[in-house]
Amino acid sequence: MKALLKKHILLLAFQVVALTAFSGTVHLSVSTQRGQRTIGVGDVFYISYEISNSDATPHQPSSIPGAKVLYFQRTGSSSSYTSVNGVTSQSRSVTYTLTARAEKEGTFQFGPVSVGGTKSNVVSYTVGKSQENNRGNLSSAQMNGNTSKPKFIGKGDGNLFLRASVSKPSAYEQEALVYTVKLYTTYDGIKFIGATAAPKFDGFVVEESKATSVQLSYETYQGKTYATAVIARYIIFPQMKGKLKVTGNTYTVSVDQREYYHDPFWGNMSVSSPLQLNVTPNDLQIDVKGLPQPQPADFSGGVGHFSITSSLANTNLLTNQGTPIVYTVKGTGNLKYLHLPDLNSLFPEQIEVFSPETDVKTEVGASNVSGTATFDYTLMPLETGTYSLPTVSLCYFNPETGKYERASAKGYHLNVAPGKSSAKSQTKDKIRFDSKLMPLEDNLAIDHTPWIRTWGYWTIYVACMVVLLCAIIAYRKRLRDLSDIEGLKSRRAGKIARRRLRKAAECMRAGNASQFYDEMLSALWGYIAHKLKMPTSELTRDNVVQRLESASVPKSVIHKIIGLLDDCEYAKYTPVADNFNMKDLYDQATEVIFDLEGHFRISNKNEDSRDSSIMSVSERLDRDLRSSRELAKDVEAAEKDTTPTPGQEATEENIVEKDL
């Protein structure tokens, strides 16, 4: 019995050992792309799941700390068989790879994950700064005194940058300097390079050089080998002293980027994909020194190293006949900005020198600007004799020695014989007056007073200024009057009422009673609204009476206009309208408007002239009343004549216009 129990215990132990040997495990590991040792922001890295002796499938995580999940897939599998002392065992493993892109800096942990009930280990990874910033850190000593580092815009992993340099960090004014922009890259191919703008050269005169690189060359920089090319080169001339800044421009570069991935069948593979980067070179600061003082009086403005030669075709000349003399300046430097001394002050006064024709031919090289500048003068002897042309000296500043130097062109001896006469032979001292060209008049006054110094001129001037000021004042008053809309309507209230009364007279002649009363009411209410500056919503009898009383209008006139409004409205809206005489209503409207106009004119005058103004207005009212009676007679005659002639109509309208 004991032997049987011992046998079962041993069998159970063997089963426990077998189950332990074949239990599943999950192991996590972190790896980077080929060629990278660290993970930077924007870099792609991998987390591998190695699952042993388990058929369970892991779930894809939706997110991981500090990175973004790109994709998750099975990338490999393996199996093995072992036999020890006749006991055969089998093991198998499956690998899943999680591809992620780092998004922020820091140290992060991932895990544990559970696969089929088995938990994995915990992995940690550190994300540093972007690789493009790390690889773009160039020392200021290596950048020829630059004040900032290369700048990267948009996508990139630090495998491409631009480096700007200048031939000399310190220079003199007008000295030629070479500004170079070089491309550094580790990408397989460059497809396109284009500048989106030009560099900013503050305080420089610039000449662009064509000495750039077409093919890539290799250069070791900070312990790493790059493919390089000079993509831009400029010759710059500082125009002022001080610390001048050169700001780099932005370039667009298209490259082929190689990306690595793991294939479950072929293993690690790579593929080339296009990538576009916008990159800016570093800015530079150049210390510009001023030219030594004092400068020579004949300094030509040239900075560099120059030589000068002269050529004269013939030394035997005739008067009044020109001959060329050519001075040629050769060398390197700012050829376009130098000038020769004034030859008229150097040569004898009997030799006239005309302004030269200048021809500058320069070639912008890799390190400087060289060429020739030709000054073609024309000489014209004015008198016979033997003359000596002195040597012409060119004073320039040599930045290599830091001193002013001179180069001289040889002089000549001239033999001048008589030639044909010419107007040019008349020198300033020998110009004579020719009476045939401009006859001399005997009545020329010695003393002449300009008209601007007379009283008449200033009287007219002051009068014109007064007229101008009056016109300006009147124009500004006119603008103020026009800007006052209510005041303008008030001033034109009588004119508008006369126009509507004219329409009422036409309706009266035509026998159109309804339209007549409409025009009468429009004329009366419109006149009151405009004259008293009342809005339409306030046009009630009580408001009108109150406003007229406040304007000191006589009560008789107020009762007359209110009664006239009542009669017109009563005649318009009642069937007994025939009992009203349209002519009487028309006369009353004309009379009451004239009364109101007279009252408002009187009230606007000064207190001193009140009496005289009232008398003149009263006379004018009497005249208007007489005219209105005559108008009534004309209206009766028009009613009898059913077919008035155009001339008669015009006459009546003129009468209405005159009376109103």
- Clarify whether residues 269 and 392 are in a common domain: no
Among the candidates 383, 406, 423, a domain finishes at 423
Where would I find the beta strands (DSSP E) of 264-350? 267-280, 284-289, 299-312, 316-318, 323-333
Residues 424-445, mean pLDDT to the nearest whole number? 54
Note the pLDDT of residue 326.
94
Asked if residue 116 belongs to a domain, the reply is yes
- Clarify whether residues 64 and 136 are in a common domain: no
Report the distance separating Cα 113 and Cα 68, nearest Å.
17
Q: Cα 56 vs. chain centroid, distance in angstroms?
A: 65
Which strand (E) or helix (H) includes residue 356?
A: strand 351-364
Among the candidates 228, 253, 288, a domain finishes at 288
- Clarify whether residues 284 and 376 are in a common domain: no
Task: Using DSSP, state whether 172 is helix, strand or coil.
Answer: strand
Note the pLDDT of residue 463.
93
Full strand arrangement of the beta sheet holding 242-247? 170-172, 284-289, 242-247, 200-201
Task: Please say if the pLDDT value at position 172 is more than 60.
Answer: yes
277-286, 572-581, 618-627: range with highest mean pLDDT: 277-286
Question: 72-76, 608-612, 616-620: lowest mean pLDDT where?
Answer: 608-612
Asked if residue 439 belongs to a domain, the reply is no
Token pair listed for 25: 């495990």
Among the candidates 129, 150, 165, a domain finishes at 129
What CATH number did the domain enclosing 56 receive?
Answer: 2.60.40
| Mean residue pLDDT across the chain | 75
Report the distance separating Cα 197 and Cα 202, nearest Å.
15
- Clarify whether residues 144 and 233 are in a common domain: yes
Compute the Cα dihedral for 341, 343, 349, 355 and give only its sign. negative
Asked if residue 573 belongs to a domain, the reply is yes
Rg of the chain on CA atoms, in Å: 54
Which residue segment(s) compose the domain that 577 sits in?
485-659
- Clarify whether residues 122 and 207 are in a common domain: no
Task: Please say if the pLDDT value at position 578 is more than 70.
Answer: no
- Clarify whether residues 158 and 275 are in a common domain: yes
Residues 514-518, mean pLDDT to the nearest whole number? 82
- Clarify whether residues 641 and 582 are in a common domain: yes
Question: Residue 461 forms beta bridges with which residues?
Answer: none
- Burial level of 268, CB count in 10 A (0-12/13-18/19+)? exposed
Full strand arrangement of the beta sheet holding 44-52? 25-32, 44-52, 87-102, 67-84
Residues 356-376, mean pLDDT to the nearest whole number? 86
Q: Please report which confidence band the pLDDT of residue 506 belongs to, taking 50, 70 and 90 as the band edges.
A: confident
Asked if residue 350 belongs to a domain, the reply is yes
What's the pLDDT tens digit per position in 642-659?
333 333 333 333 333 333
Asked if residue 15 belongs to a domain, the reply is no
- Clarify whether residues 168 and 228 are in a common domain: yes
Q: Cα 558 vs. chain centroid, distance in angstroms?
A: 67
274-278, 412-416, 629-633: range with highest mean pLDDT: 412-416
Number of domains in the chain: 4
What's the pLDDT tens digit per position in 318-355?
998 889 999 999 999 888 888 898 888 889 988 999 98
- Clarify whether residues 515 and 620 are in a common domain: yes
What's the pLDDT tens digit per position in 9-52?
555 554 544 444 446 789 999 888 755 678 888 888 889 898 88
Task: Please say if the pLDDT value at position 310 is more than 90.
Answer: yes
Note the pLDDT of residue 373.
92
Q: Which of the two residues, 147 and 282, has the higher pLDDT score? A: 282
Task: Please say if the pLDDT value at position 518 is more than 80.
Answer: yes
- Say how many Å lie between the first and final Cα of the chain, rounded: 150
Count CB atoms within 10 A of the CB of residue 639. Answer: 15
Alpha helices in 176-280 (DSSP H): none
Token pair listed for 347: 């040569």
- Clarify whether residues 261 and 150 are in a common domain: yes
What's the pLDDT tens digit per position in 526-550?
887 777 777 777 777 788 887 787 7
- Clarify whether residues 145 and 125 are in a common domain: no
- Clarify whether residues 546 and 625 are in a common domain: yes
Asked if residue 104 belongs to a domain, the reply is yes
